[in-house]
Amino acid sequence: MPSDHTLSTSRPRPFVTVAYVPGGAAVLEPAVMPPSCVHASPGDPACVLVVHHVRERKAGPQIPVTVAQCRTHRRAFTLYPLGHVPYGRLAIAPVTLDGHVVLSTQSKPTTGDRRSPAWGATQLGVAFAAIDDPTVKLTDRRWWATQTTELLGRSAALLGIHPGLSVSDADAIAFRLEVPRLVLRQAADAYAHARGRAARGRVLVDVVDQLGADACLLDRILAAGACAGCWGTVTRWDRASRGTRGQVFPGRGAPAG
């Protein structure tokens, strides 16, 4: 059985994600400033947010990201571009920084003459790489010295097939990914009995193929990852957001619907 059975027991911090679009001076900037911060609780005074600074990123989105400060709660937080999460070295989904799905230029068109999403450039790309070259550790500079087995384990957790997930958590992830529960349960069994990186990679790729390429792909990945504990509760803000909380994807243990 795979050696990457242990899931992290830490509680990831909540974060905010927004679309980044061209702004003044030909730079990308947040499309919207959230009206409230990640530290706000019901009954708190209204948040007063300002741009604290812009910081460079050598990995992840590889563009300067905006750090906002809440004068009410006296806390600062990063506005992560769509498709990126805290401490992420690669995107979590094949989307542009404003949320549009990126299709692969290498895959063959599927039913309806549509191409598959470009998963190879995301965190889930480790599964495809494991199939192509199962004997060599990935050396992408953005992954530094992280072991391939650890990356495969994180991918398995995100997709709801990690052996360390409870049945209820795995079913909740299936709900969020909009993949039939039976499909993920069968994939989880196959992953648990897989021998070697290539075998595990093939199981993961089979699940990824079930995700499709609709406009809600990023939201499904965000929701599943929060449920799996891959990252904390996510609040997505965009121009269409309503209310004072944006679109929230709760972390592990929250009701599925």
Is residue 83 one of the residues assigned to a domain?
yes
Residue 6: the pLDDT is 62
Is residue 5 one of the residues assigned to a domain?
no
Task: Please tell me whether residues 85 and 137 are part of one structural domain.
Answer: no
pTM: 0.86
Is residue 53 one of the residues assigned to a domain?
yes
Residue 62: the pLDDT is 85
DSSP state of 61: T
Domain that holds residue 83: 11-91+232-257
Task: Please tell me whether residues 181 and 206 are part of one structural domain.
Answer: yes
Is residue 226 one of the residues assigned to a domain?
no
Q: Which residues of the chain have pLDDT under 70?
A: 1-10, 107-114, 133-147, 240-245, 252-257
Task: Please tell me whether residues 84 and 140 are part of one structural domain.
Answer: no
The answer to whether residues 257 and 176 touch, using CB atoms and an 8 Å cutoff, is no
Task: Please tell me whether residues 114 and 188 are part of one structural domain.
Answer: yes
Residue 1: the pLDDT is 42
Task: Please tell me whether residues 207 and 117 are part of one structural domain.
Answer: yes
Task: Please tell me whether residues 118 and 190 are part of one structural domain.
Answer: yes
Task: Please tell me whether residues 158 and 196 are part of one structural domain.
Answer: yes
Task: Please tell me whether residues 109 and 83 are part of one structural domain.
Answer: no
By C-alpha distance, which of 10, 6, 1 is closest to 150?
6
The strand order across the sheet containing 15-18 reads: 49-55, 65-70, 75-81, 15-18, 234-237, 247-249
Residue 110: the pLDDT is 52
Is residue 152 one of the residues assigned to a domain?
yes
The DSSP annotation for 86-148 comes to: TT-SSBSSSB-TTSPBPBPSSSPPBTTTBPPB-GGGBTTHHHHHHHH-TTS----TTTTT--H
pLDDT tens sequence across 24-66? 777 899 999 999 998 888 899 999 999 999 998 777 888 999 9
Task: Please tell me whether residues 185 and 249 are part of one structural domain.
Answer: no
Is residue 220 one of the residues assigned to a domain?
no
Is residue 222 one of the residues assigned to a domain?
no
Residue found by looking up tokens 């199981």 in the block: 203
Task: Please tell me whether residues 56 and 145 are part of one structural domain.
Answer: no
Query: Which long-range contacts (C-beta less than 8 Å, at least 24 apart) are formed by 125-132?
Result: 125/90, 126/151, 126/152, 126/155, 126/201, 127/152, 127/155, 127/200, 127/201, 127/202, 127/204, 127/205, 127/208, 128/201, 128/205, 129/201, 130/197, 130/198, 130/200, 130/201, 131/198, 131/201, 131/202, 131/205
